[in-house]
Structure formats: C-alpha cells, structure tokens
Amino acid sequence: MKKILVPVDFSKQAEYAAKVASQIAKKNNHEIFLLHMLDVPVGVVDPASFGSGNNAPTALLFLQRAHEKFEEFKKLPFFDGLKISETVQFHKAYDGIIEESLKRDVDLIVMGSQGASGLEEILVGSNTEKVVRNSKVPVLVIKEDVDNFDIKNVVFASNFNIKNRPSFQNILNFTQEFDATIHLLKINTIQNFESTKASSDAIRNFINGHDLQNYTLNIYNDKSIEAGILNFSKLINADVILLNTHGRKGLAHLFSNRISEDLTNHSKLPVATFKLV
C-alpha cells in the first residue's frame, strides 16, 4: 500500500478513520489523500453549472467553508510528519469516493462508519455499504477511536469456496504489510453444519499454493455465522476482521443472510473488505 484515501465529513468517525490511516501511513511511509464530498442538493448548487450564474456565490461559500475546516482538520497531531493532500468536490458521496479512489490509484480506503447530519452527511450506513460493496480496492471501516492501530492478529472469515481462491493473495498482501498472524476461520452452525474434517480440508485446499508464514486454522461452532466471527475474534483478541465482497451482487453470498454487511455495520472491531476477482 502506497496511497490511502480517507473520506472526511469532519465528524468524530472521520477523525477516527484519519487517525488509523495516519498510523498505517507512518509505519509504511504512505501518502494520504483526504476527500470531502459536498453532497449538496441540486436545488442549492447544481454541479453541472458550478461556478456560473447564480450558483457561483453559494458554491464558493460551501468551498470556502470546507477548506477552512480542512485547515483545522490537518492540524490534528497524528498528521505530523506525513505527506497529505486534500480535495473538495461537489458530488454524491458514494460516487465521489469510488471515482476518486480510481483517479488517485489508491491502495486502501479508510472510512468511518457514521457521519454528520444535514448537508454534510456522507458516511451514513448506506453510503458505507455501497463503498464497501463496490470498491475495487480494500476498504477499512473504523467505528471507534483506536489509539494504537498495531495489527498483530487478523481474522479472515470465509466459507473457503475454492472458486474464490485467486482473491486470497490480496488478503495475504494486507496481512504481510503488517507482519501479522492470519487466523483462518470457518464457522459451523446448526443450519449449515459440516464435519471438522470437511471444514479442515476446505481450508487447506483453499490456501494450497499460497505462501503463508504465520497462520492458524480454525473451525468454530456458534448459533450464527456473525456471532461466531465476533466471538472468535474476541477470544483471540483480534485487531481486525477481514472479509471478501462480491461487488454489486452484495456481500451476503459468501455466507447466508447479510452477514458481511452486518459485520461491517455492527462490529466494534475494524473490518477490512476485499473485492473478489
């Protein structure tokens, strides 16, 4: 990872995300791009005619206010010593984040899971889910303040379907970036039960051919997949949960129901998602 994109709405959640991004950047000498999307109703400012006619004064006022906030935001102590640039754009939050990630060729998006209200709203659940679901680069979702984002134990929860194996290298690249131990986790439930041998074979076939340095193989029984992932992560004192996504088909296809989306929204632990190839 060389470039990190952080969507910013100047909320506490955005500050938490920026703090984590800064810790990652300092450890690995990365560059940070801060992005604020002015998702203003068309009746107030029309992006198609931005800078002309009656829109100009209002647009300039919103831009000025955003840049003033950025000047204060960049004074936060965790940014010291980092290469940072910021962008303010008139755009819908979700579309703007995806487009900017492609334009900047970023390697990671770090974003908070909630946002402010009113015209500055950006990181509410629906937009977070859309970014998680459709981003071509990994998305790290932060919900709470993390003083020391030092990843040592990573949980990769999956059904270990062999057809998804090509995407596993992206998971390994992230894990190796932090020199962390990856705990491979398959959850068994009453509704979706299989023998320990079948689960073990599925995991071993999945990782076959990949160079794993520090890892454990785990099969965990629980009342639901979500509960199993969260309980196992708590048991080993995990620092982050890793999940694959299916893009526009949604996250649920890896498990049952909407398990990946639920984890992204409800887990207090940081959750990183990686799109399947």
Mean pLDDT of 96-121: 75
CA atoms of 272 and 240, how far apart (whole Å)? 7
**186-217 pLDDT per residue, tens:** 999 988 888 999 999 999 999 998 989 899 99
Helix (H, G, I), strand (E, B) or coil at 96: helix
Q: Both 119 and 11 in a single domain?
A: yes
d(CA 199, CA 203): 6
Among 81-90, 200-209, 254-263, name the one with the lowest average pLDDT: 254-263
Residues 89 and 191 in one domain: no
pLDDT of residue 196: 93
Q: What are phi and psi of 76, to 5 degrees?
A: -60, 135
Tell me the pLDDT tens digit for each residue of 37-53: 876 554 544 444 544 45
pLDDT higher at 268 or 5: 5
Q: Look at residue 125 and give its three-state secondary structure.
A: helix
| Rounded distance between C-alpha atoms, residue 76 and residue 99, angstroms | 27
- Which residues make Cβ contacts (< 8 Å) with residue 165, sequence separation at least 6? 206, 209
Residue 96 has pLDDT above 90, yes or no: no
Question: Based on the domain organization, do 164 and 101 belong to the same domain?
Answer: no
Do 198 and 244 share a domain, yes or no?
Answer: yes
Is the same domain home to 50 and 133? yes
**Structure confidence by residue, pLDDT tens digits, 57-82:** 666 676 778 778 888 888 899 999 99
Q: Which of 130, 125, 100, 106 is nearest to 35 (CA)?
A: 100
The mean pLDDT value for 26-35 works out to 90
Question: What per-residue confidence (pLDDT) applies to 126?
Answer: 59
Domain count, the chain: 2
Lowest mean pLDDT, pick from 107-121, 143-157, 211-225, 233-247: 107-121
Strand partners, 88: 36
What are the φ/ψ torsions at residue 128 (nearest 5 degrees)?
Answer: -60, -45
Residue 164 lies in a domain: yes
The mean per-residue pLDDT over the stretch 156-178 comes to 89
Do 133 and 159 sit in the same domain of this protein?
no
User: Is position 147 within any domain?
Assistant: no
Same domain as 199, residue 115: no
Q: How far apart are CA 231 and CA 233, in angstroms?
A: 5
Angle between helices 259-266 and 125-134 (to 10 degrees): 130
Q: Has residue 212 been placed in a domain?
A: yes
Whether 60 and 121 share a structural domain: yes
Distance in angstroms (rounded) separating the CA atoms of residues 263 and 143: 11
* Residue 40 maps to a domain: yes
Instruction: Please give the model's pTM, rounded to 2 decimal places.
Output: 0.82
pLDDT at 151 over 60: yes
Domain finish residue from 92, 111, 142: 142
Cα(34)–Cα(78) distance, integer angstroms: 14
Q: Is residue 105 located within the same domain as residue 168?
A: no
CATH of the domain at 256: 3.40.50.620
High-pLDDT (> 70) share of the chain, %? 78
Same domain, 128 and 160: no
User: Which residue among 142, 167, 182 closes a domain?
Assistant: 142
Residue of higher predicted confidence among 63 and 160: 160
Please tell me whether residues 24 and 107 are part of one structural domain: yes
pLDDT value of residue 60 = 67
Full domain range(s) for residue 265:
153-275
In a domain, 148, yes or no: no
- Give the model's pLDDT for residue 22: 95
Q: Which of 96-100, 119-123, 127-131, 149-153 has the lowest mean pLDDT?
A: 119-123
What percentage of residues in the chain have a pLDDT greater than 90? 39
138 and 12 co-located in one domain = yes
